[in-house]
Structure 1
Amino acid sequence: MSLLPRSAEEFSSAEYWEKFFKKRGDKAFEWYGDYNTLCGVLHRYIKVPDQVLVVGCGNSELSEQLYDVGYKNLTNIDISETVVTHMNQRNSERRPGLTFQQVDATQTPYEDGSFQAALDKGTLDAVASEGEGVIARNMLTEVGRVLSVGGRYVCVTLAQESVIQLAVELFVELGWAVRLHCLQEERGKEEDSFALPVFVLVCTKFRQPMPSPILEMCLGEDGAPTRLSQVAELLAAVREHQAYSVLRRRLRTGTESSSNLSLTLCHVKTGLPRYTLTVQDCPPGARVPRSNHFAIFIVPQGSETAWLYSSAEGRKQLAASANFRRLVIVAMHRNQEYTDMQAVQSELSPMVMDLAPPGMPANQQVPFLSVGGDLGWREEVSRGLSELSGEYCVENVRGEDGELYRRLVFLSNAALVQSEGRLVSSNTASRHKKKNKKKVKPSAAPKSSSSLSVDSGFLCCAHHEVMVAGLAMLRVGAQQIKDAPLSVLLVGLGGGGLPQFLRDFVPNVFVEVVELDPAVLDVAKEWFGFRPDERLVVTLGDGLEHIAALQEGGTRQFDVIMFDVDNKDCSVGMSCPPAAFVETSMLQKVRSLLTPRGVFMLNLVCRDPDLRRSVLERVSAVFPTILSRKIQDEVNEVLLCSPGNKETSDTAVILQSLKQAGESLQAILRSGVGREPHIDVTELLKDLRVE
């Protein structure tokens, strides 16, 4: 079959379905299933004594098969005289009671309520695209008229989105109950069967219209129904099943090392997302042991945002380390309970075998891999809604180093941690060095979040560490930093970890933070230990407008200006900052606000090399000296920009000139609030390079 959709989105594409039905042509179409495939669900909703109207019977054998097992009250109609004549001739002797009539399904001669069931196998699919759906609506309205109270419209369909939406919305408007069964495919028949699952739509007529919609989805012919509240949820569930069927077909018939195919598995009872599976194949020619066909890797809860699991590059590295032909990487979802690793494996086992690579022996055991054999730990402590950024959650997680962390995650981009802080007991101060992490077995989860607080001396974001180390570019001695005020303007608050660190550990610093989202400020203060005061102030507003106002006022300057602000539009290829922040006019405003010794620091997250080059050209046109540092295992890089004359391009000379300033800065940070921060300035400065 050459018409497999390439993505789930195509299931709502009229062009795809038009091409599909044209390809199908006039051939007798039994891909929807014969009696043996459909009998379970048909017998559940259509009783043998029922008067049954078979709508658009065509030349399908289903009516004949039903007749043979006892259904003698079948009224078959079709608009085609040729089909009706042929079917009557074919059954006149063997099935004398089975008749076929030439009738237009949109205007039948039957009395109101004269049938207990209406059976439709593919007819709705065939007519829904004609006349902009008018014919389909007329047909369904007529079906509703001729069905008695308690009668059912049973429709076998491929569930093209526009088709199923039309039918469901019509019957919901009439106050009927709607249930949809997704019939599971038989394994091992991918080559000679249609790739999409077959659905059976069952709509039940009530004497009085239902006051609120009854919408249900069932997996298989006898699966427990999952109640849904909106038609959109039902359509989304249909797309999930269709996408899984297509993905299964693709994976069972080929390998694609360059693509990261993924799908979401939902809880059968609740319908909520439970697992996200990403398939990573080894590239052609990779040396893989002959027995290493297939493995499943379980990502610990709280670690799914790590570079190794969330990025394409990281997953490739993970697959190469595991050294299997195919690795399925499984991430667990928030707001779901998981008992233990054995329970997760048992839950996944029946499903993941469908994703095995082609040619894998049927009796091959599939290993489950993990980090330390533990599911990890996650606790949601708060959830809220930002008018600007949507729904968010604050959660505590246990890292792979055994330490506890608190995170802010916006659910519109759940794979990205917006802010993070390390947690310590409220009455103790942790002295562990970040650079000396050791893999430890996670201990029991804390009983209460109230006993934990965020350690302001620990910067979880590596780019924040580089920004702090970049203060060495001011090239002032320890005594000067102690005695002279230092002014910092930071655009982008997040959880407040960076500005709070500066406030706590840099003497005489004044930090002004510009934050667009009031909800972020509330979260930072309530959950991340952010404590504004006379030396740490927050201005709520647009960073671009604030900088323009400062520049126009002409009365204030800053020693350091930092941009650490996310771009909400991911389509431009630059996640941080928004493009307007690196336009030449804005960069010139920033330069005018810097003191003569000042430094501009930019957290740049750009996957597009051409776009990155363009940004660097604009920045270098305004700031002659640029030092950069890539963040290991991340896309982030920090640009440290000076408005002074361009320095030597000899990296060794630059590093030597910064070494003494870095040592002075380290000494100052250690004397901040009577405890040592977890940062090694000298080490961070070693990896700087001249742009």
Structure 2
Amino acid sequence: MSLLPRTAEEFSSAEYWERFFQKRGEKALEWYGDYNTLCGALHKYIKVQDKVLVVGCGNSELSEQMYDVGYKHLTNIDISETVVTHMNQRNAQRRPGLTFQQVDATQTLYEDASYQVALDKGTLDAMASEEEGALARRMLTEVGRVLSVGGRYVCVTLAQQSVIRLAVEHFVELGWAVRLHCLQKESQDQDDSFPLPVFVLVCTKFRQPMPTPILEMCLGEDGAPTRLAVVAELLSSVKEHQAYSVMRKRLRTDMDANTNPTLTLCHVKTGLPRYTLTVQDCPPGAKVPRSNQFAIFIAPQGSETDWLYSSSEGRRQLAASANFRRLVIVAMHRNQEYTDMQAVQSELSPMVMDLAPPGMPANHQVPFLSVGGSLGWREVVSKGVSELSGEFCVENVRGEDGELYRRLVFLSNIALVQSESRLVSLTKAPSHKKNKRKAKSMAPPAAPTASLSVDSGFLCCTHHEVMVAGLAMLGVGTPQNKDVPLSVLLVGLGGGGLPQFLRDFVPSVSVEVVELDPAVLEVAKEWFGFRPDDRLTVTLGDGLERISALEKEGGRLFDAIIFDVDSKDSTVGMSCPPAAFAETLVLQKVSRLLTPTGVFMLNLVCRDTVLRNSVLERVQAQFPSVLSRRIEGEVNEVLLCSLGGEKETLDASPITLPFLTQAAKNLQSALCSNRTGNSPAPHIDIAELLKGLSVV
């Protein structure tokens, strides 16, 4: 299977090309490639007997080299009298039939349809920036006039976005066929900071304009053409190849271990993403065996969102454990089929050496690493579209612990699992395994999806477990509170695992969930075992508006208010909660909606230290007692905030709170004794979860 490289990095044309032309200066005009470099593509479209008009020939040797191999009908034009005089003198004796004429390419005197080919090497690039492209358009119009039916405009170009757009749109409007070859340039000069690929644009004139544009991209001079639907797709493909070339240059030089270039490989026929490759280097000075230069690690299907593979911290840990100078971590995409490990290796092998570290021998054998030699397993069971969050899918995966899990993933952020629940067979008792790192068989389940159910007693997210454990601060499960009602307001439904757990196992609890997205509610009910009733209700709407409405109504207080809502704004260094949920006015309203002994719980996911400290300052200003429980191996931390109580006794970090020791036992006992009927036992250790608490 052929793969098309597509970088995930932004390739900024304006800035990049400004640096390029400044750097290039007076460099030799053969930078685009000489005849030996271009001949494969030129021979495909230019016959030896064709009459060829070489537009803007300059002092390039290309015409001379073509003449020497048999092209005798070349007319070279350039607007510079100096260049034309020089080239005629240079070729008078050796190539008497090779002529150079001083002619303006925008207004030649040649007859209509008098040439079969117009050959342009860099002239379009030079002219397109003049008069906002008007000069280049006049040149292209003149080219179209002098070409005969079936004739071709063959342009060697670096394909700056504005330049290639101008040319392609011009010929598409005329109804010509447009094909673009990407010739990957191998830079021999390691100091050359602009190792861009050269493109050959071929536009063919028809007797009758084509009603539907013919747009094709070819990899290399002999690559099979890939048909594209619109000009934007062709321009995007050009940009991807340019960015890939830049990445290759970066990877062949010493790279900062803290940067992680990412490359997406797409199916060449469908254009759909198939693999995403992330490069992770060991830090300078790391002791790596000489033989361990480079390796490829295949992350199991369904595990690519795990911390070890998706976070920069996790990838650094994985690379350090593998102990290779450079490790490329490969994630496989959903909606793609993968036969076995050998087939994956065969697909990736042609691209591997492009990503090798500097100084790597070309014949070096690159090892492929994996978890137990397995590709993992994934099954997409449902797809849908949310008006608020876009496309999503529900998928079953086999975890590295051998258990089955169900996940909700929004495709706008495939690196994030929105919700996750563990699955059990209806005929099999659930196990109590928690550690997903202990690899088992990755074979697909023998039972069909219909015979699987969600284990409501198992919380996949540790931060959810901590929030449940935080109820110990309320004295849940003590004899005096045995029949006392407990009210919880939870903002953020997800798959519904946390509120369903509270409903099923916490005595006398009533839970109101506020969820913005109706599609999420339907998914939770259909695929994640969420069952609303009179003690578990859902309010559809904005969480901030609901809090404001509750405060305005008055008369209703909550024992626990929980924020477990994520942000869709990736430009902010805080993914949970959205910034508006951590503003002072909102926190004040939350404090007024709590009972005097109530607890506010916040799932905080913030990589920006300054922003995190700012949030903590605002929280502390409203809540005298703030405890934090960080989640091992993740960025998450849960804040447990109360309006008063035990702060003066908290003087160590981490701490074990004496007053919570018995409370943890009481809550553990209450959770286990409150389950009804055939509901599974809760898989949670309250005392262990509370051990990690520390004072903010």
Normalised TM-score (structure 1) = 0.95
Change (3 A) 1:158 1:425: same
Change (3 A) 1:83 1:171: same
Say which SS state the counterpart of residue 489 (structure 2) adopts: strand
Contact 1:157 1:198 in 2 (8 A): yes
**Relative contact order higher in (CA < 8 Å, ≥ 6 apart):** 2
Alignment of 1:683 onto 2:688: yes
- What is the aligned partner in structure 2 of residue 252 from structure 1? 252
Matches of 1:532 and 1:174, distance apart in 2: 62
Q: What does the per-residue CA deviation read over 1:463-503, in whole Å, with 9 as the maximum and x for residues that have no partner?
A: 11111111111013344554122111111111111111111
Q: What does the per-residue CA deviation read over 1:538-563, in whole Å, with 9 as the maximum and x for residues that have no partner?
A: 11111111101110111221111100
Contact 1:156 1:200 in 2 (8 A): yes
Change (3 A) 1:448 1:236: farther
- What is the aligned partner in structure 1 of residue 291 from structure 2? 291
Deviation of 1:207 (Å): 2.8
- What is the aligned partner in structure 1 of residue 422 from structure 2? 422
Matches of 1:426 and 1:229, distance apart in 2: 48
Say which SS state the counterpart of residue 72 (structure 2) adopts: coil
Matches of 1:641 and 1:417, distance apart in 2: 26
Change (3 A) 1:458 1:160: same
Say which SS state the counterpart of residue 338 (structure 1) adopts: coil
Say which SS state the counterpart of residue 30 (structure 2) adopts: coil
Q: What does the per-residue CA deviation read over 1:166-198, in whole Å, with 9 as the maximum and x for residues that have no partner?
A: 222222222222221111234866457951111
Matches of 1:414 and 1:35, distance apart in 2: 45
- What is the aligned partner in structure 1 of residue 125 from structure 2? 125
Matches of 2:316 and 2:24, distance apart in 1: 39
- Structure 1 spans left out of the alignment, 5+ residues: 1-6
Alignment-mate amino acid for residue 64 of structure 1: E
Matches of 2:311 and 2:404, distance apart in 1: 23
Contact 1:12 1:160 in 2 (8 A): no
Say which SS state the counterpart of residue 615 (structure 1) adopts: helix
Change (3 A) 1:414 1:10: closer
Change (3 A) 1:192 1:576: closer
Matches of 2:437 and 2:24, distance apart in 1: 61
Alignment-mate amino acid for residue 502 of structure 2: L
- What is the aligned partner in structure 2 of residue 444 from structure 1? 444
Contact 1:478 1:667 in 2 (8 A): no
Contact 2:217 2:228 in 1 (8 A): yes
> Is the deviation greater in 460-469 or in 170-179?
170-179
- What is the aligned partner in structure 2 of residue 660 from structure 1? 662
Contact 2:376 2:443 in 1 (8 A): no
> Is the deviation greater in 354-363 or in 475-484?
475-484
Matches of 1:173 and 1:447, distance apart in 2: 56
Matches of 1:596 and 1:92, distance apart in 2: 100
Alignment of 1:37 onto 2:16: no
Matches of 1:364 and 1:17, distance apart in 2: 35
Contact 1:566 1:575 in 2 (8 A): yes
Alignment-mate amino acid for residue 608 of structure 1: D
Q: How does 1:213-252 map to 2 (within 5 A)?
A: 213-252=213-252
Matches of 2:242 and 2:256, distance apart in 1: 20
Matches of 1:111 and 1:404, distance apart in 2: 74
- What is the aligned partner in structure 2 of residue 262 from structure 1? 262
Deviation of 1:426 (Å): 3.5
Say which SS state the counterpart of residue 394 (structure 2) adopts: strand
Say which SS state the counterpart of residue 32 (structure 2) adopts: coil
Alignment-mate amino acid for residue 670 of structure 2: I
Alignment-mate amino acid for residue 243 of structure 1: A
Contact 1:481 1:507 in 2 (8 A): no
Alignment of 1:670 onto 2:675: no
Matches of 1:633 and 1:538, distance apart in 2: 32
Matches of 2:18 and 2:307, distance apart in 1: 41
Q: How does 1:587-598 map to 2 (within 5 A)?
A: 587-598=587-598
- What is the aligned partner in structure 2 of residue 504 from structure 1? 504
Contact 2:655 2:692 in 1 (8 A): no
- What is the aligned partner in structure 2 of residue 649 from structure 1? 650
Deviation of 1:153 (Å): 1.6
- What is the aligned partner in structure 2 of residue 640 from structure 1? 640
Change (3 A) 1:174 1:482: farther
> Is the deviation greater in 550-559 or in 517-526?
517-526
Matches of 1:192 and 1:477, distance apart in 2: 71
Q: What does the per-residue CA deviation read over 1:280-305, in whole Å, with 9 as the maximum and x for residues that have no partner?
A: 11111111112211111111111111
Say which SS state the counterpart of residue 396 (structure 2) adopts: strand
- What is the aligned partner in structure 2 of residue 13 from structure 1? 13
Alignment of 1:573 onto 2:573: yes
Matches of 2:482 and 2:149, distance apart in 1: 86
Q: What does the per-residue CA deviation read over 1:626-679, in whole Å, with 9 as the maximum and x for residues that have no partner?
A: 111001110000001111245211458862211211112112222323420111
Contact 2:251 2:357 in 1 (8 A): yes
- What is the aligned partner in structure 2 of residue 458 from structure 1? 458
Q: What does the per-residue CA deviation read over 1:24-75, in whole Å, with 9 as the maximum and x for residues that have no partner?
A: 2344311111111111111112222222221111111111111222222222
Matches of 2:524 and 2:205, distance apart in 1: 53
Contact 2:599 2:643 in 1 (8 A): yes
Matches of 2:601 and 2:269, distance apart in 1: 50
> Is the deviation greater in 674-683 or in 598-607?
674-683
Say which SS state the counterpart of residue 252 (structure 2) adopts: helix
Matches of 1:274 and 1:500, distance apart in 2: 36
Alignment-mate amino acid for residue 200 of structure 2: V
- What is the aligned partner in structure 2 of residue 619 from structure 1? 619
Contact 1:117 1:153 in 2 (8 A): yes
Matches of 1:436 and 1:85, distance apart in 2: 76
Contact 1:434 1:679 in 2 (8 A): no
- Structure 2 spans left out of the alignment, 5+ residues: 1-6
> Is the deviation greater in 553-562 or in 212-221?
212-221
Contact 1:31 1:194 in 2 (8 A): no
Root mean square deviation, CA, Å: 2.1
- What is the aligned partner in structure 2 of residue 487 from structure 1? 487
- What is the aligned partner in structure 2 of residue 82 from structure 1? 82
Percent identity, please: 78
Change (3 A) 1:421 1:524: same
Deviation of 1:389 (Å): 1.4
Deviation of 1:411 (Å): 1.6
Matches of 1:11 and 1:471, distance apart in 2: 50
Contact 1:121 1:155 in 2 (8 A): yes
- What is the aligned partner in structure 2 of residue 313 from structure 1? 313
Deviation of 1:590 (Å): 0.4
- What is the aligned partner in structure 1 of residue 547 from structure 2? 547
Matches of 1:155 and 1:437, distance apart in 2: 55
Say which SS state the counterpart of residue 366 (structure 1) adopts: coil
> Is the deviation greater in 503-512 or in 465-474?
503-512
Q: What does the per-residue CA deviation read over 1:118-141, in whole Å, with 9 as the maximum and x for residues that have no partner?
A: 211111111111111221222222
Change (3 A) 1:39 1:464: same
- What is the aligned partner in structure 1 of residue 391 from structure 2? 391
Say which SS state the counterpart of residue 639 (structure 1) adopts: strand
Contact 1:404 1:423 in 2 (8 A): yes
Contact 2:398 2:444 in 1 (8 A): no
Say which SS state the counterpart of residue 223 (structure 1) adopts: coil
